[in-house]
Amino acid sequence: MIGSNNSSNRSKKRVLVLTHNYPRWGGDVSGGFIEHLLGLLRDSFDFTVVCPHDSGLPFDESSTNAQIIRFRYGREAAETLAYRGEMHTYLKSRPISVIRFLLSYRDCAYRVAASGKYDIIWAHWWIPGGWAGMKAASKSNTPLVVTCHGTDIFLLRKFAMLRRLGSRVFSQAGKITVVSTFLRDELTAMLGGRTADISERISVAPMPVNSRAFYFRKDVSRKPGSIIAASRLTAQKHHDTLVHAAGRLASDGIPFQIDIYGAGPEHESLQQLIAAKGLADSVRINEPLPQVELGDRYRSSEIAVLPSEREGFGLMLAEAMLCGCAAVGADSGGVKDIVLREGSDGMLVKPSDVNALYTALKSLLSDRGKLERLQLSGRASAEDRFSATAVASHFGDILTDASRIGPGNA
């Protein structure tokens, strides 16, 4: 069934989607935002998704939004690189496995594209997706669109040796999308001198917020003093800053309850910090939640906090704003695309500054009128910019334009 489409309507553009992250079963959060985006676009496009195999999954199946083709890159028990969120960390510890993965990905993309049935190849993450699609696009004479999500641009920043390869991929792309102005500027600064006209081919296009999970309900009451954070527990997210700020709030006698939802390498150190500060009753670390359940938590919380520095976008904050939370984020990276007007649709604080975060949270917890105004204005701002309709329209235009422009020049 390679190359088959999920619709017989040939008036639709046929798009081959390359991603190393895509839901494996109903409710799986891996790549859920990509599946959601395809669902928003399926009335105008037919999608075939190439993605990695994982234990127990079929190699070829149809879903509501796409035909799915999964490639094998090792013995079933050894196929553990994808869907775990840490593939780039295996470059040193499992280099042979990573190389096998990349070559298998590239070969599958090339084989599927060689059918000649596709109008566009749409790669998510320039590495590995864009790299896998580069040969496929060139040999099949198919336009390539590359969408960056943040972690892949972080790799360019961290490993200068990748920039030559990145330049080749982006030169092949007729269209490039990034999820924030911050990432656009980062990519242009790193590759502008290597890749002709890259700035002219980049569009800022955030991923859609899942409107089935993240929406406002007027009839749901919010727990007074409730603060929520939801993201990977890594050093870059700076949850320790939030815990230190919570210690200051507790010293002031201000009632609050902080719930952090996430998993990651900083879990143990954060638990130790919470215990050392005597905050076990007011700061809790919880397991990650499926999106629908997380939406419920946002709707019952008053304030959402994202203290991370150099965040590629900060989707969590947009989700929380749509659910009616007042947003507090670090004045850094893509968060500045979410909180556009500091003090109006959210609050921005200096990254890693405990006093700044403490002051912002205290001002909202102590001033009911200010809190409610920020909740209302933040939600209206998020609805204008991150609604499913607005985002789908933007991506639809990008894909249509790419099909007219044709292949890149690499």
- Give the pLDDT confidence of 349-365 residue by residue, as tens digits: 999 999 999 999 999 99
Distance CA 212, CA 256 (A): 29
- Give the pLDDT confidence of 127-148 residue by residue, as tens digits: 999 999 999 999 999 999 999 9
Residue 6 has pLDDT above 50, yes or no: no
- Give the pLDDT confidence of 289-299 residue by residue, as tens digits: 988 999 999 99
Neighbour-count burial for 127-139, b at 16+ CB within 10 Å, e otherwise? bbbbbbbbbbbbe
State residue 348's pLDDT score: 98
State residue 3's pLDDT score: 41
Which residues does residue 13 pair with via DSSP β-bridges, in sequence order? 45
State residue 407's pLDDT score: 66
Name the token pair of 314: 């900060």
| pLDDT tier at 10, thresholds 50, 70, 90 | low
Residue 312 has pLDDT above 70, yes or no: yes
Q: Which domains does the chain have, with CATH numbers?
A: 13-209+389-405 (3.40.50.2000), 226-386 (3.40.50.2000)
Name the token pair of 377: 């204005």
Distance CA 329, CA 180 (A): 15
Identify the weakest region by mean pLDDT among 84-93, 130-139, 147-156, 298-307. 84-93
State residue 406's pLDDT score: 64
* Closest among 388, 377, 327, 336 to 357, alpha carbons compared: 327
As a whole number, mean pLDDT of residues 2-26 equals 76
Q: How many CB atoms lie within 10 A of CB 107?
A: 15
State residue 2's pLDDT score: 41
| pLDDT tier at 388, thresholds 50, 70, 90 | confident
Of residues 191 and 408, the one with the higher pLDDT is 191
Residue 314 has pLDDT above 50, yes or no: yes
* Mean per-residue pLDDT of the chain: 93
Which residues does residue 304 pair with via DSSP β-bridges, in sequence order? 228, 327
Distance CA 35, CA 15 (A): 14
User: Are 301 and 278 a contacting pair, CB within 8 Å?
Assistant: no
| 3-state SS class at 124 | strand
